[in-house]
A and B are shown apart, each in its own frame.
Chain A
C-alpha cells in the first residue's frame, strides 16, 4: 500500500472543502497541521475531530496536514477516512450521527417532478441544495465524479446522507454502472438513502442484482426505492421488464448516452429520441410507475426549459432531472396541472368529498361514475396546484358559490 495519501480538494476556487495529506509513520506520535480559513473560530474543533478520527482507526504515529476552506465536520471526517483507507485495510467506519430530519422514509408515489443532480465529490453544492426545494436530491457517484475520485466520493456521499439536511427532499444516490455500482451500495444502503438511481440500466437482471445486494446490506429493512435510467437502445427495448422489477418506482431516461448509442446527435427538436421517450413512458405507465424525463442541459435558457417541460409533460412524463437549482421552479410550475386540469380535478374531488360526507360508496359526477384511481389522481392534481400556488388550500370554501 501507498505511504502517503491525499484526498479532497484545495485551491482558489474551492470552498467548503479540505485537502488531507496523511503519512503513516512508525514512531513520533500524531502530528497534525491545520491550515484553515476559519482557524481562529474553528481551529480547535477541527483539530479535535482530526485526532478523534485517527484514534478511531487506531493510528498512533502519523503526520497529517489539513488545508481547509470552511469544510463542515462531515466533510473533513470523510476526507480523513478516505485517506486512512488508502493506507490501511480496515472494515471500521467513522460515522457521524444521522440527524433526526433525515430519518424519514418516502412513499412510492410521492412527487418526483424535479431531481437535482449534485456531484458527489463537491461538498459546497450540497449544503444549500435543499433550500431550493426540489422533490429529490441526487448525490451522484457516477458521471460527475472523476474516476480517480470515486473512492473518496463514497465517504462524502455516505456522510452527507447522514448529516446534511435537505429539507424534505427525497435523498437519492446515483450509483455507478454495475459492477462498480454494487460496491457503491455498501456505502449508502445503511445510511438512510431513500432512492437509488441505476444508470445505463439494460435488463431486469441488473435490477435484481441491485435488489439482492441491497437486501443483503439493509439490516434495518427500510424501504429503498429504485429509479433505473434507460440510456441505451437495449434498455429501451427492455424497459417494461425493468419497470416491473421489484422496488422500482420510477423509470428515467437519459438521452445523451442514448443518442450516442443509436448513432445520432441530440437536437433541440428531439425527433431522434421521440420513440425512446414514448417507449419509456409507455413501459412505466404499464407498470404503474412514474416516467421521468432526461435533464435539460442549457441552464441559462429558462424559456427553452419551459418549452422542454411542456413537451415532456405532453408526452406523459411526470418529472425530469435538473442540473441547476434555478431550473427547479420552472419544472414545478410547468409540470403542474394547467387550469383545465385543475377545474376537472376540483369537480371530481368535490364530488368525492360530498359522497364521503353522505356516506355513499360510489362517487359520481353527473351521470358518470368515478373510479377510485381517478379520484386519487384528481387529489394529486389539487395538491400540486396548491403547492405551486395555482389554487388556495381552502378552495372548497367558495367552490360552487
Chain B
C-alpha cells in the first residue's frame, strides 16, 4: 500500500509508514497513549551458556557469526566513546567482508569517526541508520543517497522504541572499557574509560543477542557492573575499543567568545532575577561552551547567596565535578561523561550517580526525572515565532545534529535556549523552523545577545520580570531585529523524497526531513 501523508498536531505533513512500518503522527504533548505490553525478548536458559560463566569468543567476527548475523538485521551500538569509537566500524567492516546486506545500524548517536559507514551504505551493507546523522553522514542522507529512511530519536525515545518493540535489535554490540568473561561491564575503569554505559542499557535488556567487546578483560566479578552479565551472550577481547583522548573530547572548554559569554551572563541573570535559583533547586546544563559558562555563573550566584542545588543533571565534566566537590550541588545525576574528571568522580564519589535513558528520560515509564528539573539549558539551530525549535537540521536543510537528550529535557520546569540571534548572517529566530523537533509549548525562554523572549504561555515569568532591567522583548521583535541586520532569508526548497523522520518522545512522528535540492 502506498504511503499516505497526514498533517500532524504541529501542522507538518508526515507519512503513515516509514521503511514499510506503520507509524503514528504526532498528536500533541501527552496526547498519544500507547496500549498493550512492552516488547519481550526471548526466554533464555542457563543450559545454553557455559556453566563456568566463561562466555569468551576469540574474535568479534566469530561472535557475530555465532549471534547469527544475516541480511536485514538490526545492529545496535552505543556512543559513550564519542568520537573515539573503534568498534562500530569494525562490526560493519566484518559484515561487509562477509557480504551481508541491508543491515539497519541503530546507534545511540553517531560521530564523525564513523564517516566510513558511507562506504558500507554505498555497498549495500547498511540499508539505513536509525540514530543521529552528523557531518558527512548527514550530508549523505540529506542528498537522498541512503537506501532507507533514517529515523532520529531522542535518548529517551530510543529507550522507548526498544522497550515498546518499535525497534527490535537483533544483535547489540556493547563496547566496554572493562568487562569480565561473564559479560559484566563498566565504563569507569580501563584505558578507554568513558564513565558509564547507560545508553547501552536498553540494548542489553531487549536485544536478541548481546555481545560485549572490551580491551580490558578482568576476572569475574567486574565491579561495578553497570551492564549485567546475565544479559550477555558473548564476550570478545580485542586490542583496543576506543581512542582515549577522543573519548573524552566533548566540548569541555568554557567559551572564550565574548558574545557567547554575554549570552551566558544574561541567562544566569535572568534565572537569578526570576528567582529560579533558590536553595534546593536543580539544573541541567549541557556540554557546549555557552552552557558550561552558565554553570560557572550559577556557581557564582550560589556562592554569593549561600545556597546550593539539590542536584545537577549531567553531561558531567570538570566544572560540574568541581561544584559537586565544593558542595554547591548535592548530587550529579549523570547521563554521559565528557572528561576524565567526570570519569574519576563517577568512579570514586557516591554522589556522582550513573543514570540511563530509562531512569531519566523514557516517556513510556512511570515518570522520569526530566520533569523534576527546575532549570534546563538547551541549544537550537532555529526557533520559530511560536517557540517551536529545531536541533537536527541546518538552515540550508542538511541534517546536522542528533536530538540527544534535548526533547526529553523539554519537560523541565523552565526550559531556556541561550542562542545567538544570528550565525554567519543566518537568523536563528524564524517565521518557521526547517524541522520541528520540539513543540513551542514546552520552550519557555529564549536568551539572545540582543534580548530575551519569554513564551507568552508563561504569564508567571512575564509578570515576575515586568520591572526587570534585562532586555526583555517579544520573540517577534527579536525575529525582526535579526532580519533587520541579516536580511530576510529565502525559503529553502526541498525535493519530495523523505530522507529521515523525527520521532517525538512517545514514538510518534513530529516531522520529517526531505532531500535537499542541489
Residues in chain A within 8 A of chain B (CB atoms): 15-16, 37-38, 40-45, 69-73, 127-128, 131-132, 165, 324-326
Check: B139 CB closer than 8 A to any chain A CB. no
Residue of B with least CB distance to A39? B396
CB-based contact A70/B258 at 8 Å: no
A326 to B257, CA, bound (A): 9
In the A-B complex, the 9 residue pairs with the smallest Cβ-Cβ separation, listed nearest first, are A70-B424, A41-B489, A325-B258, A70-B425, A40-B396, A128-B259, A131-B449, A38-B425, A40-B492
Contacts of B487 in A (CB 8 A): 42, 45, 72-73
Is B262 part of the binding interface, using a Cβ–Cβ cutoff of 8 Å?
Answer: yes
Given A38-B424, A72-B485, A132-B258; 18 other pairs, CB 8 A cutoff: A16-B424, A38-B425, A38-B489, A40-B395, A40-B490, A40-B492, A41-B396, A41-B490, A42-B486, A45-B487, A69-B424, A72-B425, A127-B485, A128-B258, A128-B449, A131-B449, A132-B262, A325-B262
Give Cα distance in the complex from A71 to B487, angstroms: 11
Evaluate contact between B258 and A38: CB separation under 8 angstroms.
Answer: no
Give chain B interface residues in 249-270, CB to chain A under 8 Å. Answer: 258-259, 261-262
CA distance A44 to B491 in the complex (A): 11
Asked if B17 CB lies within 8 Å of chain A CBs, one says no
The answer for the CA separation of A132 and B258 in the assembled complex, in Å, is 8
Tell me if B486 and A15 are in contact (CB < 8 A).
no
A289 vs B271: C-alpha distance when bound (angstroms): 42
- 11 CB-based A-B contacts, threshold 8 Å: A40-B395, A41-B395, A41-B426, A42-B486, A70-B426, A127-B485, A128-B259, A131-B262, A131-B450, A132-B258, A326-B258
Distance of B487 from chain A, by nearest CB (Å): 6
The CA-CA distance from A165 to B481 in the complex, in Å, is: 11
Give the complex CA separation of A285 and B396 in angstroms.
57
Binding site for A on B (CB under 8 A): 258-259, 261-262, 395-397, 423-426, 449-450, 485-487, 489-490, 492
Q: With A128-B259, A128-B449, A131-B259 known to touch, is A71 a contact of B425 (CB < 8 Å)?
A: yes
Other-chain contact of A324, B258, B424, B426 (Cβ < 8 Å): B258
Q: In the assembled complex, which residues on chain A have CB atoms less than 8 Å from the CB atom of B426?
A: 38, 41, 70
When distances are taken between beta carbons in the complex, the residues of chain B under 8 Å from A15 are 424
> What is the CB-to-nearest-CB distance from A124 to chain B, in angstroms, rounded to a whole number?
9
Question: Which single residue of chain A is at the shortest CB-CB distance from B266?
Answer: A131
Q: Interface centre among B424, B425, B486, B487, by most A CB within 10 Å?
A: B425
Q: In this complex, which of B261, B262, B449 has the most chain A Cβ atoms within 10 angstroms of its Cβ?
A: B262
Residue in chain A with minimal CB distance to B395: A41
In whole Å, how far is A61's beta carbon from the nearest beta carbon of chain B? 28
* A131–B204 CA distance with the chains assembled, in angstroms: 50
Minimal beta-carbon separation of B264 from chain A (angstroms): 12
User: Which residue of A has the minimal Cβ distance to B260?
Assistant: A128
Q: Which residue of B lies closest to A101 (CB)?
A: B484
- Chain A residues near B490: list those with CB within 8 A: 40-45
Name the A residues within 8 Å of B485 (CB-CB).
72, 127, 165
Contacts of A131 in B (CB 8 A): 259, 262, 449-450
Closest residue of chain B to A71, judged by CB? B425
* Least CB separation from B265: chain A residue: A329
A325 and B256 CA atoms in complex are apart in Å by: 11
A15-B487 Cα distance, complex, nearest whole Å: 17
Identify B397's interface contact among A40, A45, A127, CB under 8 A. Answer: A40
| Interchain CA distance A40-B492 in the complex, whole Å | 7
Q: Report which residue of A71, A131, A325 has the largest number of chain B beta carbons within 10 angstroms of its beta carbon.
A: A131
Complexed CA–CA distance, A42 and B489 (Å): 6
CA distance A15 to B426 in the complex (A): 12
B410: min CB distance to chain A, Å = 27
B301 to chain A minimum Cβ distance, whole angstroms, is 15
| Minimum CB–CB distance for A333 against chain B, Å | 14
Chain B residue, CB-CB nearest to A164 = B485
Distance between Cα atoms of A165 and B261 in the complex (Å): 20
CA distance A127 to B262 in the complex (A): 14
Q: Which residues of B contact A127 (CB under 8 A)?
A: 485
Residues of chain A contacted by B397 (CB below 8 angstroms): 40
B296 shortest CB reach to chain A, Å: 14
